[in-house]
Amino acid sequence: MQIRKTLAEISAMFAKQSGKTITFMQTAPDKIRARYLADLDLTLAGHGGDYLLFDYHLGWGAALLAKTVGGIFGSIRTKKLTVDTAKQTVRLNLAAFAEFRPALETRRIAAARIEDGILTVDLADD
């Protein structure tokens, strides 16, 4: 089984969940740029049974601000998202999103990729 979402669908999903408009554009295979207050370059780095792991890179000014904020507040951890400022990673827990939960109840992520503006997640039975 596969889950396929366009980057526009993912943007709409985040807008519905948070009320914030975050746009995503693909910059290379497995690489996207998230635009909100600053550009955040994300590289799909791996996956676990129910999550995707991204490395992130910020521009110089935004990186300095993030290090300062990270030093004050530490990493960000929610049910859906974990940001590790020390490792510069973002862990996206797909099972916490209603759109993905049913598919992940009895399956695990076997592979993931971003191609042609589409996130494709291959699932395997548990």
> pLDDT tens across 27-60, in order?
999 999 988 877 889 999 999 999 999 999 876 5
- pLDDT value of residue 72: 42
CA nearest to 34, candidates 52, 18, 14: 14
Check whether 95 has a pLDDT greater than 90.
yes
Q: What DSSP character marks residue 43?
A: E
Q: How many CA atoms lie within 13 A of 112 on its CB side?
A: 22
Check whether 109 has a pLDDT greater than 90.
yes
CA nearest to 50, candidates 9, 116, 107, 11: 107
pLDDT interval class at 84 (50, 70, 90): confident
* Domain boundaries, position 89: 2-125
Q: How many domains does the chain have?
A: 1
**More confidently predicted of 115 and 80:** 115
Tell me the pTM. Answer: 0.85
30 in the Ramachandran plot: left (φ > 0), alpha (ψ -120 to 50) or beta? left
